[in-house]
Chains A and B, each alone.
Chain A
Amino acid sequence: MMQPAYISSASIISPQQHFEDVGFLEGIKTTSDGILFVTEPDYKKYINPVAIRRMSKMLKMGISTGMNALQHAGVDKPDAIITGTGRGSMIDTEQFLLNMIEMNEEALTPTSFIQSTYNSINGWLALQTKCNGYNQTYVNRGASLEMALFDAQMLLHESGKEMNILAGCFDEITPDYVKVKSKVGYWKHPSPLSTDLFRHDDTPGTIAGEGTAFFTLTNNKNRAICAMPALKTLQDEQPAGVIDAINTLLTGQGLSMADIDVLLCGMNGDVRQQAVYDELFKTTTERTSVTAFKHLCGEYDTSSGFAIWAATQLFTSQNLPDIITIKRGTHEGIKNILLVNHYILNSHSIILLQNIQ
């Protein structure tokens, strides 16, 4: 059995708020365009001023969020840097690809090619923090951040000494990406008001989103906001198999669904992907509050980063905002949060988070 990982800081850039904003989901931003773009912070405080000029949006988002998460944890130099991304820097990938096609493979400049490399943000974070330690990037669709967190948990488990690991995720949306994926039915047409997403869960499609989330993970319980005792990802699994996996994960921690205070659900409003959540709701008791988040951040490969950040906010505030609440349970306080997320290409993730205050 692996020891829990402890989360000692959480920072995001999201369509709702970024790491410099105070409060938790105050002043909700909505859209009827089907795309929730992030609100960007001032990056200059976090990134080498010489380097920043050539950096694309994804790099600036990822690096600044990572640096902010370390600042909040009071860590100058992490022991390892582990990330997950579904798509890396889409803007750089599209730019180099289109340039190559338009210029007929001549006179190309390398900046967007280099930045399109999935581990470029990791490299920059290592450079800025002078971190020579373990460095890893997972690019595994809807189970990318999850594997980064799992790897971090393994590293902490393997280590005999105190460690601080920077683990996070980054994904961005582009108009071309939205157009391309609309051809295979990713999005709702017409798009509803984003906050009304779940009123339209009888039709196919969802809304697009983007964001970054970075966490400092440690094996020092005293520094923690919450614990992450267990995590599981599944691919091509039927709803019944997902429910089995949830029960197995909880049993392994001496818990059952009846112990969950808040269920964070990755519902995306697509009727074709609703079955697992419908099965899940059959297993919840009166105690559990059922919540959702993709009407606030949109659907993307690493949206569970937004959800885990939200969980840290729930633990510290002990307050469940109406905007994420679908059903309010009878629990007193918020101790156990279960995140269940499904991503478009049939991957599921299950993450248990526990308040340790």
Chain B
Amino acid sequence: MAERIVITATSIISALGRGIAQHSDALINKKAGLRYPIHLRTKHASEFVLGEVTFSNDQLAELLGLPGGQSGYTRTTLLALAAMQELMAGADKSMVADDSVALVNANTVGGMCSVEDMYLDFISDKPQGDFIRYIDTLDCAESTLHIARYFHLKPFMTTISTACSSSANAIMLGARLIRNGVVKRAICGGCDALSRFTLNGFHSLKNVDKVPCRPFDATRFGLNLGEGAGYLLLEKETDALARGAEILAVLSGYSNTNDAYHPTAPSPEGDGALMTMQLALHNAGLSAGDIDYTNAHGTATINNDPAEGKAIQRLFTSKTPVFSSTKPYTGHTLAAAGAIEAIFSIMALQQQSAWPNLNFTTPMNELTIQPITEVKKMDIRHVLSNSFGFGGSNVSLIFSRA
């Protein structure tokens, strides 16, 4: 049997706040982070609620001791660094100083949040200006490099971009890198900042709701976009025990599959999602009956929820354990979502509480199951966390009580 991979540190920033404590408080007290944006410069600012992090770029820079203004740091990078600061504050620096640690970051649009405001300068004949500092920031690896440089890491470094499943993939890759002996530990997660590019992109697909989203509800219309970052420290259980680290949870299973159905829509009966969840269970050596809580992808789009809901029904047959989508809290944070929801799953294990699916009122005709709407204190041994993306990129992770 493969050695157990455990999580020994987590860190998070989202519309719910900064740090595990603020997120715990929000989840327990059903305080959603959705509101009209004040930092994103979009003409739709008073039209769509978003999961925007409350800090401005200058406030984030100040937290990090970095220069404010147009100093070359994109909001994506600032969010990544602000989240990572929490993780690194508790980490033994010597433990993560060399390439025995992997940094697996995930991201969907890199520094688009900055580039979109400067692009006309980029392509103008102007040779100089503040925009110059942002010319190399569009690609996804920008934030990864900044994490390494800011925290003086020399890691095995890579960046994943598989749309909404990106950081779930990062966690899975981290575990595989450890199991294959490539690294001893892995810092895995993802970051994304709100941008007009993604807001208008999803809006052009007609799947953004103007009011708070309603996953698994008959009246759902679409998702709310969000932003944030989340990171987890993974290592072998024996290594964690040897250094006396607190084990937050076990990453007991993972799987990555592709729907091979449609460029943006899931297979309507949930075939792809079902296969992903089944393979994750198989990988964990668990059966469906072992799962106590499912943190669903639950975007509240017209297409996702029936497909995922049917897959959940098919997986669990008559005894579906409690499930919910936490996206009404944070919005859909895209490449950060897999990591943020992994952390919510770990918090569910630690607090023995399943998180509510806010805004649910009306059951869907297509489904016989309904999400929970209140915090449910219960015995939780195993949590299933789903992340499904464009391009049919599906990932399921299973976290178990330490």
Question: Pick the contact of A97 from B197, B263, B393 — CB < 8 Å?
Answer: B197
Question: Pick the contact of B132 from A96, A127, A184 — CB < 8 Å?
Answer: A184
Closest Cβ of chain B: how far from A40's Cβ, in Å? 22
Kindly state whether residue A304 has any CB partner on chain B within 8 Å: no
Kindly state whether residue B356 has any CB partner on chain A within 8 Å: no
B136 touches A345 (CB 8 A): yes
A140 touches B196 (CB 8 A): no
Which of B76-84, B252-260, B320-328, B363-371 participates in binding chain A? Answer: B252-260
How far does the alpha carbon of A117 sit from the alpha carbon of B391 in the complex, in Å?
9
Contact with A along B11-53 (1 / 0, CB 8 A): 0000000000000000000000000000000111000000000
Within 8 A of A (CB), among B102-139: 107-108, 110, 112, 115-116, 119-120, 122-123, 127, 132, 135-136, 138-139
Kindly state whether residue B204 has any CB partner on chain A within 8 Å: yes
Within 8 A of B (CB), among A128-144: 129-141, 143
Contacts of A236 in B (CB 8 A): 145, 148-149, 154
Kindly state whether residue B57 has any CB partner on chain A within 8 Å: no
What is the count of residue pairs linking A and B with beta-carbon distances less than 8 angstroms?
A: 178
A139 touches B161 (CB 8 A): yes
Contacts of B173 in A (CB 8 A): 136, 151
Q: Given A97-B119, A133-B258, A184-B135, do A139 and B140 touch, yes or no (CB 8 Å)? A: yes
Closest Cβ of chain B: how far from A349's Cβ, in Å? 12
Residue in A86, A109, A184, A235 whose Cβ sees the most chain B Cβ within 10 Å: A235
Residue in B162, B169, B258 whose Cβ sees the most chain A Cβ within 10 Å: B258
Kindly state whether residue A154 has any CB partner on chain B within 8 Å: yes
How far does the alpha carbon of A87 sit from the alpha carbon of B260 in the complex, in Å?
23
Within 8 A of B (CB), among A86-104: 86-88, 93, 96-98, 100-101, 104
Closest Cβ of chain B: how far from A28's Cβ, in Å? 30
Q: Given A126-B260, A127-B262, do A104 and B132 touch, yes or no (CB 8 Å)? A: no
B205 touches A122 (CB 8 A): no
B144 touches A140 (CB 8 A): yes
Question: Pick the contact of B263 from A118, A120, A138 — CB < 8 Å?
Answer: A120
Kindly state whether residue A29 has any CB partner on chain B within 8 Å: no
Kindly state whether residue A176 has any CB partner on chain B within 8 Å: yes
Range for the number of chain A residues in contact with chain B: 35 or more
Kindly state whether residue B358 has any CB partner on chain A within 8 Å: no
Contacts of A126 in B (CB 8 A): 258-260, 391-392
B116 touches A108 (CB 8 A): no
Kindly state whether residue B176 has any CB partner on chain A within 8 Å: yes
Contacts of A129 in B (CB 8 A): 260
B263 touches A136 (CB 8 A): no
Q: Given A110-B204, A176-B123, do A100 and B116 touch, yes or no (CB 8 Å)? A: yes
Question: Pick the contact of A101 from B120, B160, B261 — CB < 8 Å?
Answer: B120
Which 3 residue pairs spanning A and B have beta carbons closest together? A123-B391, A113-B201, A135-B258
- A residues in contact (CB < 8 Å) with B: 2, 81, 86-88, 93, 96-98, 100-101, 104-105, 108-110, 113-114, 116-120, 122-124, 126-127, 129-141, 143, 147, 151, 154, 157-158, 176, 179-181, 183-184, 233, 235-236, 301, 345
| Beyond known contacts A108-B204, A132-B275, A179-B123: 17 more, CB 8 A cutoff | A97-B115, A98-B119, A104-B43, A105-B42, A110-B205, A117-B163, A118-B161, A119-B163, A119-B390, A126-B258, A132-B258, A147-B158, A157-B180, A183-B135, A235-B157, A236-B149, A236-B154
- B residues in contact (CB < 8 Å) with A: 42-44, 107-108, 110, 112, 115-116, 119-120, 122-123, 127, 132, 135-136, 138-141, 144-145, 148-149, 154, 157-163, 169, 173, 176-177, 179-180, 182, 196-197, 200-201, 203-205, 256-264, 272, 275, 389-393
